[in-house]
Each structure stands twice: as structure tokens, then as C-alpha cells.
A and B are shown apart, each in its own frame.
Chain A
């Protein structure tokens, strides 16, 4: 699954019918509207790649929740992106069990191959690098998540292959 980024804009944006339908489904499960806010942010991000200011306004109007509440929630959680990201977000683990097994070197090599620092996106908009805390696969360290796939026992020599296969995956779609 690759993401089509929403382009930043000052214009008003509307939630799509699909987004609204998915949010409505969550609303059925919660006694108060605010209970749907995190799921709704994730739904928007699934469709737009990230959560822009404009889509946050649209969500606030749709859920009739204060914009400041939604913004405060959106900025709190690690997996809600408030900036555009590349087609593929690489999440190497920076937990201690990975670092004990050479995880830091893997992250440094990723940075070097892609020529970006943690948190940045490549110029071709292909990859964003965001390391995450312990990914809970410590017996297979070092590990990384990309495209909803967990890569285990990563060696620096295998990184170019992994990046190539991820590149291929975006071309096929």
C-alpha cells in the first residue's frame, strides 16, 4: 500500500464520502463523538498520507469537535503525521534490544543510503525515515517496519535489497 499525499493548501478541503463512511462506522461504537477522534485521524491519514491543517478543519466541522482538541490529539501520538511523508515510511526500531544487536548502525546506514536524517523525506518523495521505539520483536533484532511489513534480523548488507524491493513495490501500483 502506498500513499498519495495531499498537497498542502490554504483552500478549504472536504472529507470524501469514503472517509465519512468509515468515520460513521466508528461513531456507532462510541457513546461520545470524541471517542472517534483518534480513529478518524488515522482514517484521514490512510487516505491522504498525512493530516494537514485543512483536513483537520474539515474533520473538526464533520465531528463538531473543537479544532484545538483535535490538533492537541493529532500532535500527541507518534503515528499521526502532521507533515507530508514519502510514499513509504521506514520505521527502523531504536529500542535497546535492537541497539544491543547493532541497530544504531542500521539506522546510520539507512540515513546514509537515503541521504536524509531521521524525520526527513527523500527529494524524490519515495522514503521518509522515522525511527520508532521498541517494535516488540526483540529476539529478531535488529528490526524495521516498512509498508506494514516487519523486517527481521537486518544486516547492513541487506539494506540495499530491502530498499530496492520497496521501490519496486511502489512502481507496480
Chain B
């Protein structure tokens, strides 16, 4: 077994590894196109070295989980028992249950590059000597499901899956599970319960899934985009991968912007690209007639940031320093004509509905926060309601619940109470929503 060396790496190094396979051709997701651009070369390279050697590469790449938490992937994987007496079967799972409000990056990868995900999953399986892979995909993503199903069949037909993959002696199966729809299924232990056919309640940790996950066996759950990085790290090397980032974090990231901007969409950009550059240069800035009031930098469960944070790099630790999170990297823009109370109400109602109901701060706290916010939005709020909302945010803080749903749910709320407190107070003082026009009680945006 040999280590990957620099001379193995190709000279033509891409700066958009994740999206370079995507073209205008509607069949660009199929195996023939993927392989014509070097698809499955990463797997072939991995199969020439040992699993532990691949794991060393992944650790050295500094790849961090793209599902939102940013946990170092190599470190997470290193907890899986290895060696001859390790329990089997081991499971590798792709979390493709994208349901975070404002997140739409995994849909792109699933629909346009299913083979990139599958290649990453097979590499992961080989690295940890796993036996079975699952792609846990959101049930509403019809096109993505179709493409993944066909792509898996293409793999079985071409000895990329099944027994003795590409003559390496490695056996690996992949199954697809389409979710019956609950946001909490995106939490890794809840996802595992759902795969076992149970209600998707998160599990108490420890034991961690790496040791005792699906059916009590060692299990890894990673986001779609995380797996997509693996073929390229194997193919082009860790030095190249590190060099892609503009700040501390390595690699590229699919960033997105939604809301009242001129050009909403998704772009693969270097990790560490400044927030303002994404919003101004790529999303084209605000639509005519709208001003930026604030934005959620990484989906619906992240704290608001403001225009003054535009120079901040989109990098896990740097966004963290501003008391928010990079999350999924999909920015949601709040414009000056949409009521911040209504925005937070929409989000809190969502999280209240999607709570599995296991922990009290989440099961009882979030619906109560929604009641209070609705009261304020209807012009029936009192100043003491703001204090109660702040208390509910504290009750839902990390450590008070088994999973991260409730702490994430109150992030937009607590930061809105901080940045847009005037708006809350104005609702209460004038006993109506200042963003509603006088002759009807609807928001201008809704007309």
C-alpha cells in the first residue's frame, strides 16, 4: 500500500470541484458525462491505498461537515472501530433530508451530480471498511430521487457497487430511503431512528453513532456536500484542497442567497468568501426599491447578522465569532419592507411544528414563543411579552435539550430581539404591525 504522492496529482487543478460536472446538458448527471470529466478517479485512487491511509488524507484535508455544524469529518470518522474484531455491518449514511428553511444547496448536488455523492459514499465506505450505505433523501425531492435511483443502477451495472468493486476485493451496497417528511430527520440520531422505522426522536449520546448507530452498529452520517468533497480530495490532494479556501477553512462551499435580491441562486465559492461579496457581487445586491435590513447567514436556524458584518468571511469560526453560524451557507435576506416579527414568527412556527416533542423547552417552549410572537404581530402584545420571549430563548439554550433543534430555533428570535428590538416595541406601542398598510392588514410584500 502506498501513500498518495504529489506526482500522482493531476496538473490541471479545478477551483470549482463540486460544480465542475454541471453543464447546461440535461443529461449531465449521468455516469457517462461524470466519468468523461474524471468521475470515479478519486475512488480508483483510494482503492490503490489502504483505508487508514485514505482516512489520514481526509484528516489532513481539514474538511469540515457541510451539514451546518462544521465538525471535522476526519475526526468524526476516526471514532469508528477498526480492525478485525470491529463489529459488522458498518453503515455509511448520506443525510440528504434537506429541510432547513432557506437551504436549497443539496437539491442542486442531488439532481445534478448524483454520482459525485455516490462516489464520496463509496470512498467513505472503503475508508472505514463499511458494508452498507444509505442515502436518506427528502421525499419531496422527486427529481433528485429519480436521478439517484438511476445513478445507483448505473453503478451496479459498471462494477462500481456490489461485490469486488473494480477488482479491489471491496464489497459495498447502497440503499435509498425516501423520507416521509420531518425536519428532525436531519438530526443524525433521529435519522437513524427513522431508518429503523421508528418515530424520529433523537437519541441520547453517548453512545455515539460511530460506535453504536443504526441497528446498534457503527454508523457514520454526513451531509450530501461533505461526501461530494471526498473524490476531489483523493484526486487532487490535500495541499490543493487547503489552497482553495480564502481564510482558515479549506475547500469550497456551495453558498446561496434567497429573498429580495436581484439574482437569487447558488454559487460554489472559496470557503471564507466575505459575506458582502456573496450578497453584492453574486446575488446582485437588493432588488430596486428594497433595502437590506438583516440576513440569516446560514439558513433558518442561525442568528441574524447586519450589513456591518459584510467583510466577515464565510468561514465556520469567523461567523461564529459574530455570534452567528455559517450553518448551511444559504443566506436568507430580510428586506426593509418585510416585518422582522413576521419573519421570526414564520420560523418559530416551523420549528414548533417540526419539534419531535421529546424535550420540554422545545415541545412546550417553541409553541409558546409562537403564541407570543403572533400576539405581538397582531398588535395585541405587551412589553412583558418581550421579556418572556427572552426567557424562552434561554430555556432552549444548548444543554437543555437532547438535540440542536431548539437552540437553533431560537437563534433568529434572540438575535432579532437584539437587533430589531425597536420593531417589536413599535408593534406593542402602536398596537398594530407597522409593516402592514393601513387599509388592509396585509403586508405589502403579500399583495
Contact = CB atoms under 8 A, between A and B. Distances in A.
Interface in B163-221: 175, 177-183, 194-200, 215
Contacts of A101: 259-260, 445
Contacts, number: 145
Nearest to B173: A29
Contact of A76 (B143, B182, B332, B353): B182
B333 A100 contact: yes
A42 B140 CA distance: 13
B84 interface: no
Contact of A148 (B99, B142, B447): B142
Max count, chain A CB within 10 A of own CB: residue among B101, B194, B215? B101
A102 B444 CA distance: 9
Given A31-B215, A91-B140, A105 B447 contact: yes
B181 A136 contact: no
Contacts of B264: 138-141
A96 B182 contact: no
A10 to B, nearest CB: 26
Contact of B182 (A41, A77, A100): A77
Interface stretch (A13-21, A32-40, A118-126, A165-173): A32-40
A132 B102 contact: no
Contacts of B104: 136-139
Nearest to A100: B259
A162 interface: no
Given A133-B101, A134-B99, A79 B334 contact: no
A104 interface: yes
Given A102-B445, A138-B264, A95 B175 contact: no
Contacts of B443: 104
Contacts of A32: 196-197, 215
A41 B177 CA distance: 13
Nearest to A105: B446
Contacts of B182: 76-78
A23 interface: no
Nearest to A73: B199
A69 B199 CA distance: 9
A35 B195 contact: yes
A153 to B, nearest CB: 10
A145 interface: yes
A132 B215 contact: no
B103 A134 contact: yes
Interface in B231-289: 256-260, 264-266
Contacts of A136: 98-99, 103-104, 106-107, 138, 140-141
Nearest to A72: B199
Given A31-B215, A35-B196, A132-B181, 18 more contacts: A35-B215, A39-B177, A76-B199, A78-B180, A79-B140, A79-B181, A95-B101, A95-B300, A99-B343, A99-B346, A100-B258, A102-B445, A132-B140, A134-B99, A136-B140, A137-B107, A138-B102, A139-B256
